[in-house]
Chains A and B, each alone.
Chain A
């Protein structure tokens, strides 16, 4: 409870970031309660109701198949959060394993970090596309494809942080107490990585939204019948002049989510990264 209050107190005097936090909470609630909130079935096709502009009955209008866009955007939040979490988990798990081992075993690190360098040289979307081509389309595969992009950056950050932690006297002290390598990494290095990586996780979550939406837009992400924001934007291409709301609402949802996550991420970084302690952004 105190941890929650402590977290909330960070947002005092930072109303902009506070709004971001509220937006994220709203999105999470929308995702969790989608079946209750959504007025219509997001997949129900109704040829009679095609391309109706926003009105009192259909808040966000309807799409080319007559599906209620508001319901689809609400269900889209589920996909957004699901892929976001998946990408963060993949990026953190593999990034942390690669980064800590590389930092702890310098010879291994020399090899692994050069591989990471090469992967970072490949444009992010191209790397994701390569994964999709190999693995095929689908929810898990797009998580893996986008996760792969952020494994490299996470490994990089973890490598640097671990190098610093391993040089600390307390690591030397536990080594002198007879602790083995695994115990040191698990019990002493990892807990000290949690705060900086939490900040990293928010930013990965935000950018994963953009990357997965891009994959969906290219038709290489989720199957087209899944109501994800990226898919919705992709479908509107042909109707964009006749029905601009089809682009506005799902596109707006993506922008709002990414922007809010970044705002919250900034606050977390101010709090958890000692380098920014002195110049806390207050707006």
Chain B
């Protein structure tokens, strides 16, 4: 299933924010790659730069205050940062699709969902309105909306949150993208709807062979969906590994802490372990390793300079001077 042609490759991507406190990097030297048909889970707390990464790939950063200040974004081998605005616009929704966190507000209230799907297709493809409508209904059917033909005539407010998110997925898939960016697509939904939608995304991935960049703060979602996981902290990649490896041998203290703060069914615990403190804002990050002010293992050395990504095992990299090597179950973060 997984072949070795990267659909998306980020190389040392840096996103700068200009504010009245000066210029700082919200994403710093981020390198990732996603192969065809692969699901990459990008995990991190709020404000770690994961959504900015998604917007940078889409070319939707709020310029001029927020922009890519360094690195490369390669999509199917082509550096997106060298393309014109119009060329990037033509990629959006056609070869790269995106779904958002809020299904309740992501659809225009004044059009039927069918009309919005038709528009998504006709933005990029010279098809007739009636042909587009047929494809829209077929796509609604594919994303599991019952009675798709009549549902297409509904306005967004007539649909539930889960239904709307299905419509959003259908909209993003109208042109058959090679890459789908899902920015916390299930955060606003209840648990059973979430499970259905994740199943749907996996099924669509199988059928359409597209790659998915799954942005989430929920390791449960990652465990269910992803082939590979990249953990971000304060704008930097701190650990990346195949999903099984990451859950078995989490090497970075932050990853271990994230796993420790997650409820588990197989281990009896009275309470979950919270990570002390909060993510420092981009303009006030500690020197050296940005996690050191919250890290139980921090040493004077951590303040000196930023650790580089160390290669631990096949596909497993970690940005820490003192990576753990023992299994998660025995470790107490």
* B contact residues around A225 at 8 Å (CB): none
Q: Is the CB of B110 within 8 A of A176?
A: no
A277 contacts the other chain (CB 8 A): no
Q: B123 contacts which chain A residues (CB < 8 A)?
A: 177-179, 183
Cα of A215 to Cα of B102 in the assembled complex, Å: 52
A165: nearest chain-B partner, CB-CB: B108
Query: Of A169, A177, A180, which one neighbours B171 at CB under 8 angstroms?
Result: A177
- Report the interface size for chain A: residues with CB under 8 A from the other chain: 17
Known: A169-B100, A187-B119. A176 touches B92 (CB 8 A): yes
Across the interface, name the chain A residue whose C-beta is closest to B181: A176
The answer to whether A176 and B108 touch across the interface, beta carbons within 8 angstroms, is no
Per-residue B-contact encoding for A139-177, CB less than 8 Å = 1, 0 else: 000000000000000000000000000001110111111
Binary contact readout B45-78 vs A (1 if CB under 8 angstroms, 0 otherwise): 0000000000000101000000000000000000
Contacts of A188 in B (CB 8 A): 108
CB pair A192–B108 under 8 Å, yes or no, is yes
How near does chain B come to A100, taking the closest CB pair, in angstroms? 16
CB of B172 within 8 A of CB of A177, answer yes
User: A173 and B168 in contact (CB under 8 A), knowing A178-B123, A192-B109?
Assistant: yes
For this complex, into which size category does the number of interface residues on chain B fall?
20 to 34
Q: Are A177 and B106 in contact (CB under 8 A)?
A: no
- In this complex, what residue of B is CB-closest to A170? B108
- Select from chain A the residue with minimum beta-carbon distance to B92: A178
> Which residues from B are CB-within-8-Å of A178?
89-94, 123-124
Nearest CB in chain B: distance from A247 CB, A: 47
Question: Which residue on chain B has the smallest CB distance to residue A189?
Answer: B108
Is B105 in contact with A168, judged by CB distance below 8 angstroms? yes
- B98 contacts the other chain (Cβ, under 8 Å)? yes
| Closest chain B CB from A171 CB (angstroms) | 8
**Chain A residues near B40 (CB, 8 Å)?**
none
Contact of A172 among B60, B94, B119, B124 (CB under 8 A): B60
B92 surroundings in chain A (CB, below 8 A): 175-178
Looking at B107, B108, B124, which has the most chain A CB atoms within 10 Å of its CB?
Answer: B108
CA distance A187 to B109 in the complex (A): 12
Closest partner residue, chain B, to A181 (CB atom): B89
Q: For the complex, is B120 an interface residue (Cβ under 8 Å from A)?
A: yes
With a cutoff of 8 Å between Cβ atoms, the chain A residues found around residue B98 in the complex are 173, 176
- Any B CB within 8 A of the CB of A121: no
B103: nearest chain-A partner, CB-CB:
A169
CB-based contact B106/A170 at 8 Å: yes
Map CB proximity to A onto B210-230 as digits: 1 under 8 Å, 0 otherwise: 000000000000000000000
Q: Which of B85-123 contact A (CB under 8 A)?
A: 89-94, 97-98, 100, 102, 105-111, 119-120, 123
Complex contact B106–A169 (CB within 8 A): yes
- Bound form: Cα–Cα A177–B89 in Å: 8
A180→B105 CA distance, assembly (Å):
20
Q: How far is the CA of A178 from the CA of B60 in the complex (A)?
A: 10
Task: Kindly identify which residue among B90, B94, B107 contacts A173, using a CB–CB cutoff of 8 Å.
Answer: B107
Chain A residues with Cβ under 8 A from B168's Cβ? Answer: 173
Interchain CB contact (< 8 A) of B60 among A176, A180, A183: A176
A187-204 at interface with B (beta carbon < 8 Å) = 187-188, 191-192
CA distance in complex: A192, B108 (Å): 9
Known: A169-B100, A187-B119. A174 touches B108 (CB 8 A): yes
Return B140 CB to nearest CB of chain A, in Å: 16
Q: How far is the CB of A191 from chain B (nearest CB, A)?
A: 4
* Distance between Cα atoms of A191 and B168 in the complex (Å): 20
Alpha-carbon separation in the docked complex, A192 to B171 (Å): 20
A173 in contact with B106 (CB, 8 Å): yes
Residue from A173, A180, A187 in contact with B100 in the complex, judged by beta carbons closer than 8 Å:
A173
Bound CA–CA A7/B51 (angstroms): 44
Using Cβ atoms and an 8 Å threshold, which residues of chain A touch B100?
Answer: 169, 172-173, 176
Does B108 lie within 8 Å of A177, measured CB to CB?
Answer: no
Contacts of A191 in B (CB 8 A): 108, 110-111
Name the CB-closest residue of B to A107: B64
- CB A205 to nearest CB in B, in angstroms, measures 24
Task: Evaluate contact between A175 and B60: CB separation under 8 angstroms.
Answer: yes
Q: Given contacts A173-B100, A176-B60, list 10 more A-B pairs with CB under 8 A.
A: A172-B60, A172-B100, A173-B171, A174-B119, A176-B98, A177-B92, A177-B172, A178-B89, A178-B91, A178-B123
7 residue pairs A–B, Cβ–Cβ below 8 Å:
A168-B105, A172-B106, A176-B97, A178-B92, A178-B123, A191-B108, A192-B110
Interface residues of B (CB under 8 A from A): 58, 60, 89-94, 97-98, 100, 102, 105-111, 119-120, 123-124, 168, 171-172
The 3 closest A-B pairs by CB, nearest first: A177-B93, A178-B93, A178-B92
